[in-house]
Structure 1
Amino acid sequence: MNTRIIGPEDLNMAVAALARGELVAFPTETVYGLGADGLNAEACRLIFAAKGRPADNPLILHVADPVDLAFLVAEKIPPVAEKLIEHFWPGPLTVVVPAHPRIPEVVRAGLSTVAVRAPAHPVAQALIRGLGRPIAAPSANRSGRPSPTTADAVRVDMDGRIGWIIDGGPTRVGVESTVVDCTTNPPTLLRPGGVPAEALEAVIGTLSRGTQAGPARSPGMKYRHYAPDTPAIWVKSADPDQTMRLFEDFLPSWGSVAVVALEPILRHLPADPRIIARESLGTDDQSAASRLFSALRAADRRQPDRIVVVWDMMAGLGLAVTNRVEKACTDKVEP
């Protein structure tokens, strides 16, 4: 299969491809999504084949407007979902609601619920409106790999697996949407993401925290995700001096390393030839979220013995970054 990269000016070609049951990678404000007609079961099955995605990992349906949710919900939209939608749509928030029977089982992974969001990106919005149907879309990468935040990252993972990539430039948020299950009381945070938990709780009160027990009710809960090919180690630290001491203790056993960290950490690392790359996450939680996946991919390209991610922040988007770092790494070092 030939993979063709097009610009937003050729959106009509992408809409036609989706209508034919083909796959199209497209930008959202979070990461690039791998889209199919969300009401076409056969097209949605192609997503799982292209990504190598487990069949029990549900997909998110993308809609253009809040009014579109009524078509996808069984009975009534939960009031908590309505309140969240009012405050955070369009944007990086996914709500889990009771699913209407018209939604293909493959999208729901056999569950009675469905995950839905309205992306805040002009290309994504135009694509959904052009198709006139919800678009099912996980991240446009091979399953388990770091999510793509550029069209080129999509190409690296999906070249020859899909027909179309829309290049809309780098994504803004950089981590996937926050997912909230609105069918539980209290509502449950299933996946931290582009809307901080603090912002959600300011609107609806305390959130319960999801676990990995039982069927996955949301993407990002059950399987290893976001991992580079090179083994990655999480150094759980936010203190430059403490990190320096940890590197002095562990670097001899790590071999060559590419370090992914905030700028203050990178500036305090030892001048050691075994540190062959230093990939910056910027200076705060927002820049870290937007740069994490591209930094992991850049570190991977240097082919070190280990990638070392230095990170310890739980506030704001820091919780989402922590979630991705924890799933990407196979080992952890703490003070």
Structure 2
Amino acid sequence: MNTKVVIVDENNIDKDAINEAGLILREGGLVAFPTETVYGLGANALSGDAVKKIFTAKGRPQDNPLIVHIADFNIESLVKNIPEVALHLMRKFWPGPLTIILEKSDLIPGETSANLPSVGIRMPSNIIARELIKASGVPIAAPSANISGRPSPTEASRCVEDLQGKVDYILGGGSCTVGLESTIIDCTVNPPCVLRPGGITLAMLKEVESSIYMDPAIMKKPEADIKPKAPGMKYRHYAPKAPMKIIQGDLKKTIAKINEIVQNYIDENKKVGILATDESKDSYPNGLVISLGSRKFMESIGKNLFEALREFDDAAVDIILSEAFEEEELGTAIMNRLKKSAGFNIVEV
């Protein structure tokens, strides 16, 4: 398959490119496109045959449901009902990085929902994404635009790296501003439950409805027999090519432990990658050190995480050692991704 790659400027959008990509989606093809979270790999959400192509291109397990992306608030045809709390969440956080799980209508095929009676829906804030959805004339089912299990792409070049020759069109549009997949909240239960942390934090959600809570299993290693209700609940995700360990505890002890482990690997002629922050990056005399940014600005940590893991792949490191972060607010989402990246390989200090 020949993959066409077009880069557009969100401040001066190429309508011809948007319309071309929209036509491909409408006719059952695959298009990678930017959102504020990560790049998505889109297909017509209402076509089971089109959606099947996503799973083939990504190598994605078919029991992993997809999120449906929309460009306006008219979702009545896609769902059976919209609880009042869901309406409040939509009004406050859409467009934006929040996916709301609702009971699906018969318009949504089983391929999109992984044969669940529910479906996740979100309205991206990225203008290119919304213009593409409008041009296609259909809701777009879209997981991240990468080979399944790899770090999600936040740059168009990473989509090309993973999907060249596997999809019809890659629509590039700059770096993703959030860098972490959307928060997912299940509104088919009462009180609503967060199934994946993201840029919309639990505290922000509680401002709308105080009873909203987070599934405690989110931060734990998933059971093998779980039937995922939302993307990312069951399978290893976001994983770099090299094995990864998270060193968790007091920062000074963490730095000392990482340096100790690094020396052991260097003695074995191994190339070590270290995932650090601005506050600690100069504390590591050996290894390839990548700073995610300052701990004072967790938004930067989240934005840079997946690209940093990709850079370690580029450098062909043998092992990655990562500092940990406090599991509160945005740090919860960051640690959720780190733990999955590391396969829950955590060293406590």
Same fold, judged at TM 0.5 (above): yes
Aligned match of 1:316: 329
Aligned match of 1:7: 7
1:141-166 CA distance string (max 9 Å, x none): 00000000010011111111111100
2:133 to 122, 128, 132: 128
| 8 A contact 1:93–1:117 mirrored in 2 | yes
Q: Tell me if 1:260 matches 2:275.
A: yes
2:241 to 229, 233, 256: 229
Aligned match of 2:232: 220
CA gap 1:201/1:21 in 2 versus in 1, 3 angstroms: same
| 8 A contact 1:60–1:136 mirrored in 2 | yes
Aligned match of 1:71: 77
| 8 A contact 2:19–2:136 mirrored in 1 | no
Aligned match of 2:91: 86
Superposition deviation, residue 194 in structure 1:
1.6
1:155 to 160, 169, 179: 160
SS of the equivalent of 1:69 reads coil
| 8 A contact 1:27–1:124 mirrored in 2 | yes
Matches of 1:233 and 1:6 in 2, distance apart?
A: 37
CA gap 1:178/1:72 in 2 versus in 1, 3 angstroms: same
The amino acid across from 1:226 in the alignment is Y
Matches of 1:263 and 1:107 in 2, distance apart?
A: 41
Aligned match of 1:302: 315
Aligned match of 1:288: 301
User: What TM-score, normalized by structure 1, do the two folds share?
Assistant: 0.95
Matches of 2:149 and 2:255 in 1, distance apart?
A: 30
Superposition deviation, residue 208 in structure 1:
3.1
Superposition deviation, residue 185 in structure 1:
1.4
SS of the equivalent of 1:106 reads helix
| Unaligned stretches of 5+ residues in structure 1 | none
RMSD of equivalent CA atoms: 1.3
User: What TM-score, normalized by structure 2, do the two folds share?
Assistant: 0.91
Q: Tell me if 1:44 matches 2:55.
A: no
| 8 A contact 1:238–1:311 mirrored in 2 | no
SS of the equivalent of 2:2 reads coil
| 8 A contact 1:238–1:310 mirrored in 2 | no
CA gap 1:238/1:196 in 2 versus in 1, 3 angstroms: farther
2:118 to 82, 90, 113: 113
The amino acid across from 2:63 in the alignment is D
Superposition deviation, residue 238 in structure 1:
5.6
Aligned match of 2:262: 251
Of all paired residues, the percent bearing the same amino acid is 41
| 8 A contact 1:26–1:35 mirrored in 2 | yes
Matches of 2:250 and 2:141 in 1, distance apart?
A: 37
The amino acid across from 2:233 in the alignment is M
SS of the equivalent of 1:165 reads strand
The amino acid across from 2:77 in the alignment is F
Matches of 1:208 and 1:20 in 2, distance apart?
A: 40
SS of the equivalent of 1:97 reads strand
1:28-68 CA distance string (max 9 Å, x none): 000000000110110000000000000100000000112x2
| 8 A contact 2:22–2:137 mirrored in 1 | no
Q: Which moved more, 1:145-154 or 1:310-319?
A: 310-319
Matches of 1:137 and 1:60 in 2, distance apart?
A: 6
Number of residue pairs the alignment of both structures matches = 328
1:175 to 177, 180, 183: 180
Matches of 1:191 and 1:315 in 2, distance apart?
A: 14
CA gap 1:168/1:238 in 2 versus in 1, 3 angstroms: farther
The amino acid across from 1:69 in the alignment is I
The amino acid across from 1:2 in the alignment is N
The amino acid across from 1:72 in the alignment is L
SS of the equivalent of 1:321 reads helix
Superposition deviation, residue 313 in structure 1:
2.0
Matches of 1:208 and 1:324 in 2, distance apart?
A: 19
| Unaligned stretches of 5+ residues in structure 2 | 9-13
SS of the equivalent of 1:278 reads strand
